[in-house]
Structure 1
Amino acid sequence: MTAQNTVIALRDVRFSYDSGATWVLDGVDLTIRRGERICLVGPNGSGKSTLSRVIAGLVAPDSGYVDLLGNVVFDDSGAHASAYRAARRGIGAVFQRPEDQIVTTVTEDDIAFGPENLAVDHDGIGRRIAASLEAVDMADSRRSDPTRMSGGQQQRVAIAGMLAMDSTVLVLDEPTAMLDPQGRAEVMRVLDALQAKGTTIVMVTHHRDELAHADRVVRLEHGRAADVSDDRGVACAGDAMHAAGVAGVGGGRVLHMDARADAEGVRVRDVAADHAKTRSIADDPIIEVRDVAYRYPDTETAVFRHLDLTVRTGEVVALMGRNGAGKSTLARMLCALARPQSGGIVVDGIAVARMRDDGPSRMLSRKERERLRRVVGYVMQHPERQLFAETVAEDIAYGPRNQGLDAEEVSRRVDRAMRLLHIGHLADRSPFDLSGGQQRLVAIAGVVACHPKVLVMDEPTAGLDELAVSRVHGLIRALKERGVTVLVISHSREEAQSLADRIVTMESLEGRDADGSSAAADGAGQGGSARVRSAHDGDMGRDENRGGTREGTGSAPSASRGWVQRLDPRVKMLATLVLMFSAFAIGSFWQLLLAAALAVAIGCASRIGVRRLFRSVHMFLLLFVLCGLLNVFFVRSGNVLVNLGPVPITDDGVRIAVLYACRFAVVIVIGAMFLASTTPTAMTDAFESVLKPCSRFGVHTQEIALVMSLALRFLPTLGDEARAIADAQSARGGSIETGSFIRRIRAMAAIVVPVFAGTIRHADNLSLALDARCYEEGVDRTHWRVMRIRGRDIVACVVIMAYLAALAALPYIGR
């Protein structure tokens, strides 16, 4: 092997997270050649992710020798920061959870972030955006919001972001762990094309079939690495995976949910699994879903319509389908954590949703919810969102305690659940200090300890090694023998066939192959979940209409977007602040009428729907309006209309209260319209531009703008996690939805710790993402978005000035 062909060289690399008490990597030697594809395999906790980060130049080892792309970044003298910075310019890293490395809410802006950090010129950034998106087949989504895409699309955006940096080495940490087979195939096709062009690829994987694409398989165990196949191919791939403790793929009764279900409804096929039945299944149904329809909030696109499903008592069902098809949504509806727009759902005689044509069914009563929580157990897709106690044992005990069991029975259930999943040695550990695989097992144990009659498991084996997978499979078989009804959401048909009783396939009536399978589910390209998921969570048209796009770069025609969206974001930001502050000068009915007229005009010009606008502000609007109305109790001037005890209500008090309430409403609505018509990226670009003069006085305007951008990007994510944790508490009978006021407050307080842990996790991953994208504090960056003042911006400024003049003149008219 010649030195010219070597791109990565590691010798005797050691790494520890606890100052040498234990070694995650313990003497790793590895050489990677140019254009090779290496698969890193091994059991959970073997050091694969840590090694991938060392290879990507994102962490430095404690000792050893590391050469990345000809840069000696670490040797006996320690880490060399300048060499690390140089190496990272040619190495791209894609994380297991791509949402943690997406830094903006517009795809092309996210792709541009790396080249901006490399100070690539504007035209060069444009060429790189176009080429990288074309390479991953995402050119049509350049102005969509990547945070609202399916997992497969997000992975492709993450890969495109690395390609735009002209990376010669691509390091991927389990990029397909949470993807359906079609999404996995899409990612593998992209990697095949990249390797054909000479890109070196290093990938951590738990999937056996992905080894067929590798030149070499490297197994990690106990902190050491060993080649288990060579450059002549991967004929020993199966043995390698088994030796490494890597799980195979696998799905029983499968509900294959095609995300393209349309107004004509869906087609359901029952397919019996091909394994022998060991137990009889009762004829009476325990789950009945009838004519259910659901769509995500703020969208008109249905996830599914006319969905029918019957599950018999004691049956094991595997739900399958593409990412974004609605599997998790259906699971949440069965647990009363989401409500359909129409249709009926009955679980063990409990009407979770009732058939209605005029809107969603009523909420369950407290007693009905308490009963449902005893019947249905729910293991979520992301286990870290289901853990919130101080120790593993306490977390597992949470559900049984909420069932009112005595301490002795709670202890028995906790011990039994830990034995079933072989996690007794973790009893006194904090669930937040565990590996992802261990967290998943703890989350499952916490639900099993509740002894549910129906167990819903959302991808329970995703990201687990072979040993952990076998434990989960053994648990499902044990529950099956006890007569528990189990629904397993899985992306593996082999797993379904080995565990479940029947396979149920739900397909769109359109786009079906000749053999009856769904073209959307089995085909390539951007069909099915990837495209519809984006449409569900915020359709592409709406994302484009949020503004911040640059004309002349392939955007939709300007006429398709509202006039306000096309304004320079600096003009919008300053105009919004002026309008919001000027609202507090309103002191008469005519001034209020003028402000309301302007707000309506802005709404029409921005094409923001009234319903969408109200949903985004109704809580703040209600709060501030109530604050305004409180003035009725504190104004003493004017004629007394009525006395409420010792408090007189005067006509001046009523007038001022209404005026204040309306002023607050104008402020909130104008601010909401600005947020709805401007992307976070455009806001931060404008903020940085406005603050730029302050940089002469030592103010780090670029860093302040980046922090603002990341806050706008991740605050909704943290909000989603808080809601997920609240749902997890509710699913285990927590008092957050059924307890007294005091108990609900305590339950809400318990959310703080896991949300804080999630914030730290996101912050750590984000720090790595910024390093991977070559961001450096204080270094001059180029900018993809070029802000220019145009004619429409001047018109907007004139309109605002005319409004301010009229607002100031109105009090004097008629005097």
Structure 2
Amino acid sequence: MSSNPSHRSRQILACLQNVRFSHDDGASWVLDGIDLTIHQGERIGIIGPNGAGKSTLARIIAGLSAPDDGTVTLLGHEVFVNGTPSPHQYREARRDIGIVFQNPADQIITTVTQDDTAFGPENLGMSPASITVTVDEALKSVDMRPSAQSDPTRLSGGQQQRVAIAGTLAMRPRLIVLDEPTAMLDAPSRSNVMKVLNRLQSSGITIVHVTHHTQELRRCDRLLSLEHGHLREITRTDLDTRDMDALTFIRHDHIEKTNHPATATREAFTDAMPHDGLLHHERTHEGCHPIDDAAMVQVSHVSRRYADNDRDTIHDFSMSVSRGETVAIMGSNGSGKTTLTRLLAALDKPDEGNICIDGIDLIDLDKRNRRLLRRTVGLVMQQPENQLFAPTVLEDVSYGPRNLGYGSEEAERLAHRALKLFGIDRLAERSPFSLSGGQQRLAAIAGVVASNPPVLIMDEPAAGLDHKAALRINELITILADRGTTVILVTHSLEQARTLGCRIIRMPDTADRTATTDTDAAASDDKTARHSPDSVCNQTGARNAITKRNGRKTHGLRHGGIAVGFGATWNGRRSFVRSLDPRIKLVMFIALLFTGFTVATPWQLVAAALMTLALTAASRINPLRLLSSLKLWLGMFAALGLINMFFIHSGRVLFAFGSLQITEGGIYDAVLYSSRLALVVILGDILLITTTPTQLTDAFGALLSPLSRFGLHAQEIALVMSLALRFLPTLADETHAIIDAQAARGGSIETGTPTARLRALGAVIVPVFTGALRHSDNLALALDARCFEAGIRRTHWHEMKATGRDWRFVGACAVYMILLALLSNGFKLIWA
């Protein structure tokens, strides 16, 4: 498909001939007879509607997926010929190909940003010095240097996207494939990525760029459109016409009665939108002006900090949204926009401040008000796959109406209507997990709109959507606003925000703690982002809540090491324990954990407690935060100790009630064994907090490496451990995301009876299992994309070298274990 004569002299990097691909064993073809030749140094842009197969094509070009038929040659390697793939040729080709996935979370391997960026170069065998340079350059190019020590799984979606791009750039590929790389980025970050691509193009790197943002394709050598399984070349004139068609609605306050496709779409919306249900706030004015000055949403001096952050994600933030008003929330990646949406949906609580919606105090919600809130607020989450959990799209979309009291037949009618609004009614019986990213987003939005909430919160609803689908979203927002719905729209699109939003409220960056408000021309000049904190929620309790919480933040560790986080709280601060050689640290901590189980006397317990306190201090960990992170474990051990008191009857009887007795020996054993278990868990948590998963993996692999001569695959075992450290918290997050999605749509998992909650919790198992399989597949693809192979010789970026500090630590641990042995028989209490 190359008609440019200048390409004929260049090397062919990718050649696809008559490529076909099907998801349903040939019943239908996503790709049907694709012919494509990509030359060295070319920059190719690919566009197409949602579900057209763009991501599938991108993975075939990147060597991550094999087609069903045709021939594929990548960088001179015949990877797929006559229906037969060549695994060896695929592995060789992937060493010079990089890919950025549509969902960045699928591409993250480790839990430290710089280590994740270095993972690919390590697999390629780069020297440690070269890895240092390329990691620094890659993070700098996407403006992620300040987050080099952060856990990328805890960053915002846009920040994760930049980490994924950095990990690809660090491998220095000859061909780079980008699948919607800027979908979740703010304008400055998007501009930075485009500058990076421009530099790569200038240096001769071949680029294949899949995107819905056609303005990003201006410097492409060729433009391709993928529709109905076929690929065709288009011109810049076609691209300009496409932009004009998509923006016709956006650039006018209303559409005249013409035959323009946007008019037909809007009329379809108007006809299909229900005139009954929960839309009880009818708009009486034209334009974007709110119905009245009564605040529908009131946020008063709210602050929220996650425990693994050193500063507030949201700090002293206030805003007021009037009834029937449309407001756009904007800000840079990581400024707290998604956190704000979770607070507004009562899926999270602020550390300080107060939030009221339609007179409902969100801080102290009882069961009745929580049900009322779910009828009032609809939330479209940033990641659509987190909001889909039912077996079919129809069941998922009808979930909200069913919880609001509609019968099954009426709930399905509302669901069909919502699906028709977005043009995806043909997908009603499909599994939501089999849809493309854009289709999933439309299904998720349909599931919220079907319930007709008076307040609609949308977090980046148009991200990853084609122009037609984005136009539908814009029209939907306009019609809902016309009917009196209060709309809070989180967006990175200034064009969309200025057109659809009465006001633009900008979330302050982490360096700027003052929120600002841009007032659009269509908005009233006297509207500001801040109103009186007591304008709506004037209940005494709500007012007192603001004062009560000021200065009383509870910044415990967010997930708590062993309990959930598996070391996710590591923050890179230097300390004696953090700087130890990970091999020696791992061996000595394992020894300390085993000796902890041998503690059997009070003096041994005292020695173990002192050693644990010393290690806590040497790790520079706040003891109170450490205990807070393990409160569930400590509470469980205390409960087990109390139970054991009734079954151990040694020593003098202190209390008797029938056959139940509490003795001195029972209390002694309960305290001793509960404390022993608590100290062991604290030691394990210290190890995980002070050691990154990469360090643990490298140490484990190095310690097992001598066994490789006996056929033990030490490196693969170490990688499995590393992926477990990465994967288990992901599953926990997946579970919480599904629970949040069900709760936000009025599910019984939040407000039902104990029996109903148990049933709802059981219903979470299937989507979590499905999510686990999906994440497993994605992690396998990520490993392939980063060139990990079984048995390869990997470079370790972080050099492991024992120093005098390490041997002093070994000596201290040896003295401690000898002391425990001496105390084992020297000091025993004698019970009467």
Q: CA separation of 1:332/1:108 partners in 2, compared to 1, >3 Å: closer, same or farther?
A: closer
Residue 34 of structure 2: aligned partner: 28
Amino acid at match of 2:385: E
Gap change, CA 1:809 and 1:381, over 3 Å in 2: same
**CA displacement at 1:46 relative to structure 2:** 1.2
Instruction: Indicate how the Cα distance of structure 1 residues 444 and 595 shifts in structure 2: closer, same or farther if over 3 A, else same.
Output: same
Q: Which amino acid aligns with 2:668?
A: R
| 1:510 Cα deviation after fit | 7.9
Q: Secondary structure of the equivalent of 2:597?
A: helix
- Give the equivalent residue in structure 2 for 1:776: 789
Deviates more, 1:16-25 or 1:295-304: 295-304
Structure 2 residue 800 is matched with structure 1 residue 787: yes
1:209 Cα deviation from its structure 2 partner: 1.4
* 2: CA distance, partners of 1:331 / 1:199: 40
Q: Is the 8 A contact 2:504 2:517 kept in 1?
A: no
Letter of the structure 2 residue corresponding to residue 414 of structure 1: A
Q: Say whether 1:648 aligns with 2:654.
A: no
Q: Alpha-carbon deviations, 1:490-544, whole Å to 9, x = none? A: 111222233233333455798799x9989xxxxxxxxxxxxxxxxx9999xx9xx
- The Cα shift of 1:600 comes to 0.3
Structure 2, unaligned runs of 5 or more: 1-6, 254-284, 520-554, 562-566
Q: Which 10-residue stretch deviates more, 176-185 or 126-135?
A: 126-135
Q: Which amino acid is 1:658 matched to?
A: V
Q: Secondary structure at the match of 2:818?
A: helix
1:626 aligns with 2:661: no
The change in CA–CA distance for 1:294 and 1:136 in structure 2 (over 3 A counts) is closer
Match of 2:123 among 117, 129, 138: 117
**1:91 aligned residue (87, 91, 97):** 97
- CA deviation after TM superposition for structure 1 residue 246, in Å: 11
Report what 2:407 is aligned to: 406
Which one of 96, 105, 109 corresponds to residue 111 of structure 2? 105
Is 2:595 aligned against 1:582? yes
1:316 partnered with 2:326: yes
Instruction: Tell whether 2:240 aligns with 1:238.
Output: yes
Partner of 1:199: 205
The alignment status of 1:380 with 2:378, answered yes or no, reads no
Contact 2:30 2:53 in 1 (8 A): yes
Q: Whole-Å Cα distance in 2 between the matches of residues 161 and 656 of structure 1?
A: 52
- Aligned partner of 1:262 in structure 2 is none
Do 1:152 and 1:186's aligned partners in 2 also have CA atoms closer than 8 Å?
A: no
Deviations 1:618-649 (A, max 9, x none): 21221123223322011122111111332111
Query: For the Cα contact (< 8 Å) 2:557–2:628, is it kept in 1?
Result: no
Q: From the superposition, tell whether residues 380 and 126 of structure 1 become closer, same or farther in structure 2 (CA, over 3 Å).
A: closer
Partner of 2:346: 336
- SS state of the match for residue 585, structure 1? coil
d(CA) in 2 for partners of 1:48, 1:347: 41
Q: Secondary structure of the equivalent of 2:10?
A: helix
How far apart are 1:186 and its partner, in Å?
Answer: 1.5
Cα offsets for 1:34-58 (capped at 9, x unmatched): 2221111000111111111111111
Structure 1 match to 2:22? 16
3-state SS, counterpart of residue 578 of structure 2: helix
SS of equivalent to 1:364: coil
Q: 1:248 to 1:44 in 2, by over 3 A?
A: farther
Counterpart mapping for 1:60-459 below 5 A: 60-76=66-82, 78-139=84-145, 141-229=147-235, 234=236, 236-239=238-241, 277=287, 281-353=291-363, 363-459=364-460
Q: Supply the distance in 2 between the matched residues of 1:378 and 1:289 (Cα, whole angstroms).
A: 17
State whether residues 548 and 678 of structure 1, in contact with CA within 8 Å, keep that contact through their aligned partners in structure 2. no
Q: In the aligned structure 1, how far is the partner of 2:707 from the partner of 2:766?
A: 37
Provide the identity percentage: 50
Q: Give the CA RMSD over aligned residues.
A: 3.1
Q: Is the contact between residue 578 and residue 690 of structure 2 (CA under 8 Å) also seen in structure 1?
A: yes
Deviations 1:293-315 (A, max 9, x none): 22223434122333221211111
Q: Which AA in structure 2 matches 1:181?
A: A
CA separation of 1:3/1:644 partners in 2, compared to 1, >3 Å: closer, same or farther?
farther
Which residue in 1 is equivalent to 2:476?
Answer: 475
- Partner of residue 261, structure 2: none
Alpha-carbon distance in structure 2 between the residues aligned to 1:813 and 1:678: 36
Of 659, 668, 678, which residue of structure 2 is paired with 1:665? 678
Aligned to 2:699: 686
How big is the shift at 1:70?
2.2
TM-score if structure 1 supplies the norm length?
Answer: 0.86
Matched, 1:601 2:587: no
What is the aligned counterpart of 1:756 among 769, 773, 783? 769
Question: Could you tell me which of 713, 723, 727 is aligned with 2:740?
Answer: 727
**1:526 corresponds to which residue?**
none
Unaligned runs of 5+ in 1: 253-274, 354-362, 519-535, 550-554
Distance 1:512 1:109 in 2: 30
1:646-667 per-residue CA deviation (whole Å, 9 max, x = no partner) reads 2111111111111111111111
Find the counterpart in structure 2 of residue 259 from structure 1. none
8 A contact 1:395–1:446 mirrored in 2? yes
CA contact 1:628–1:664 (8 Å) conserved in 2: no
TM-score (norm 2): 0.84
Contact kept in structure 2, 1:94 and 1:175, CA below 8 Å: yes
Q: 1:224 to 1:410 in 2, by over 3 A?
A: closer
Amino acid aligned to 2:300: R
Q: 1:644 to 1:192 in 2, by over 3 A?
A: farther
2: CA distance, partners of 1:628 / 1:797: 33
Structure 2 residue aligned with 1:740: 753
Contact between 2:331 and 2:508, CA under 8 Å: does it hold in 1?
Answer: no
Q: Name the aligned partner's letter for residue 353 of structure 2.
A: G
Distance in 1 (CA, whole Å) between partners of 2:337 and 2:141 is: 30
Cα shift at 1:288: 1.5
Please state how far the C-alpha of 1:81 moved relative to its aligned partner. Answer: 2.8
Cα pair 1:377 1:732 within 8 Å, conserved: yes
In structure 2, distance between residues paired with 1:211 and 1:247: 20
Deviation at 1:140, TM superposition (A): 5.2
Q: How far did 1:134 drift?
A: 4.7
- CA distance 1:154–1:733, change in 2 (3 Å): closer
Contact between 2:569 and 2:689, CA under 8 Å: does it hold in 1? no
Note if contact 1:548-1:681 (Cα within 8 Å) is conserved in structure 2. Answer: no
CA–CA distance in structure 2, aligned partners of residues 502 and 395 of structure 1:
33
Residues 532-564 of structure 1, C-alpha deviations (whole Å, 9 max, x = no match)? xxxx9999xx9xxx8999xxxxx99xxx61101
Matched residues, number: 748
> In structure 2, what residue type is equivalent to 1:462?
A
Contact 1:246 1:465 (C-alpha < 8 Å) held by counterparts:
no
Change (3 A) 1:489 1:799: same
Task: Tell me the alpha carbon deviations over residues 115-160 of structure 1, each in whole angstroms, 9 at most, x when there is no partner.
Answer: 3222334444344434444554545554443333444443343333
Q: Retained in 2: the 8 A contact 1:155–1:187?
A: no
Residue 597 (structure 1) shift: 0.4
Distance 1:15 1:639, change over 3 A: same
Contact 1:636 1:653 (8 Å CA) reproduced: yes
Give the direction of change, closer, same or farther, for the CA distance of 1:38–1:241 in structure 2 (3 Å limit).
farther
Residue 224 (structure 1) shift: 1.1
Alignment of 1:455-534 (within 5 A): 455-505=456-506, 507=508
Question: For residues 129 and 278 of structure 1, what CA distance do their matches in structure 2 show?
Answer: 47
* TM-aligned CA distance change 1:282 to 1:420, over 3 Å: farther
Contact 2:113–2:150 (CA<8 Å) still a contact in 1?
A: yes
Counterpart of 1:636?
649
Shift of 1:478: 2.6
Distance verdict in 2 for CA 1:100–1:547, change over 3 Å:
closer
8 Å contact from structure 2 (residues 111, 693) kept in 1: yes
Moved more, 43-52 or 389-398: 389-398
Structure 1 SS opposite 2:777: helix
